[in-house]
Chain A
Amino acid sequence: MKKTIGVLSVQGAFEEHIKMLEQLDVNCLEIRKKTDLTGHTIDGLVLPGGESTVIGKLIRELDLFTPLKTLIEADMPVLGTCAGLILLAGRIADVETIHLGTMDITARRNAYGRQLGSFQTDEAFDALGKIPMVFIRAPYIESVGEKVEVLARVDNHIVAAKQDHMIVTSFHPELTNSLTVHRYFLNLI
């Protein structure tokens, strides 16, 4: 049977993730409110890019916070990109409010500055060779805990990491032609 991936769709680039995942022959389910999660069974979860302040607020107000956190704590495979990385980070530099906070990493928001600091580069992702990485007002990971495996670095900053069933990238694989990160994520399921 085809796997079903829940894609958090309250704000941001969720359609782009869905287009990538559909190329890899999985079903996608847009998650906009609590009943989207409680009424369906999913095999994995994607937290897309967007504005983390907006997504963080909406998951609380649309009663998605607890169901999402419960799923992730019960080992649901999850991929968080950019804002999704911020949602999963256990600590955010200079910011008090954390969101789902399930991953032992310290993230820095807007680490490359404003839009003029946005950039694209090609760097190695784990052992899978170089892939295109698009950074849009992106965060990076300042430090990681013992259980966290670093998957990619750009200019000595950690830009992708994995802890058990959780993968985060500060770049946007969904904005490129490379399916490497999505395929890597689906292999966790």
Chain B
Amino acid sequence: MNNRYELNKNLAQMLKGGVIMDVTTAEQARIAEDAGACAVMALERIPADIRSAGGVSRMSDPKMIKTIQEAVSIPVMAKVRIGHFAEAQILQAIEIDYIDESEVLSPADDTFHIDKTQFDVPFVCGAKDLGEALRRISEGAAMIRTKGEPGTGDVVQAVRHMRLINQQLRTIQNTREDELFQVAKDLQVPYDLVKFVHETGKLPVVNFAAGGIATPADAALMMQLGAEGVFVGSGIFKSGNPAKRAQAIVKAVTNFNDPKLLAALSEDLGEAMVGINEQEIELLMAQRGI
């Protein structure tokens, strides 16, 4: 891979231990930055509202993204539909810091993801198992996040995805070297990436938790399960006191191993987003793009 790809992986390294927050306006972006977000995700509707509105969900208006770029000094990310490389070209043209090729939006291609190696800006992609994660990385993703189930406030799927990815990493690390070829075949991923996992026990890029994280305890749970940071989408601006909740989640990610501090952070946060359980959802976004 080229130097650009290294620089793009490096930016994800700088985001580690941080919280990336979904914002829909410049005002929300400033609240997020003041609360300690390490980056913001600019989108017209947060996942919970995409769910309730239904219909086709697309890349946000570049003008709206630009107002957010002007409002904050931290990195600004934005989403494109799976496979929609023209949307990605547009975001690159407005110098976005990170593109999220996201299952939260309606997929534009039900077979092919974007060839991310053709872009200079970095991409983050969702994954629910190691095969998906490594396929996205081979397509050029510089950062991975769990898919979770966006817009639900239900953390169960993010937990499932993070545990599965880490279990699979451990398994490959302990696999005999002459069996790695078969592992690559089973996972439908390049052998070189399997070899890397075997040698290091890690993904070659940073891995964040995303989808359904709504409380400081959720964030701490994901960090203890091995996430290197978290995305919080609907959980903040769908709650009673966004600024306070945002700050509490930021501190919970830094001190995820300190239950006393987590207890203090969890006090008086006001109402959490209502949330919907996995069984109650009609649309499982995590099943988009494999």
Q: Which residues of A contact B (CB under 8 A)?
A: 9-16, 32-33, 49-51, 53-54, 57-58, 61-62, 82-83, 109-110, 113-116, 118-120, 134, 136-137, 172, 175
Contact = CB atoms under 8 A, between A and B. Distances in A.
B255 A118 contact: no
A54 B7 contact: no
B121 A136 contact: no
Contacts of A57: 34, 36, 250
Interface of B: 3, 6-8, 10-11, 13-18, 33-34, 36-39, 69, 73-75, 92, 95-98, 120-122, 247, 250-251, 253-255, 258, 261
Contacts of A62: 251, 254-255
A54 B11 CA distance: 15
A113 B97 CA distance: 10
Nearest to A48: B14
Closest 8 CB pairs of A and B: A11-B17, A115-B97, A51-B38, A118-B7, A114-B95, A57-B36, A10-B254, A13-B13
26 contacts: A12-B14, A13-B16, A16-B13, A32-B258, A50-B18, A51-B15, A51-B18, A51-B39, A53-B73, A54-B38, A57-B36, A58-B251, A58-B254, A82-B14, A113-B95, A114-B75, A114-B97, A115-B7, A115-B96, A118-B7, A118-B8, A118-B10, A120-B3, A120-B7, A137-B14, A175-B10
Given A32-B255, A50-B38, A54-B250, A12 B98 contact: no
Contact of A10 (B7, B17, B92, B247): B17
Most chain B CB inside 10 Å of its own CB: which residue of A62, A115, A119, A120: A115
A95 to B, nearest CB: 8
Contacts of B10: 118, 134, 136, 172, 175
B75 A137 contact: yes
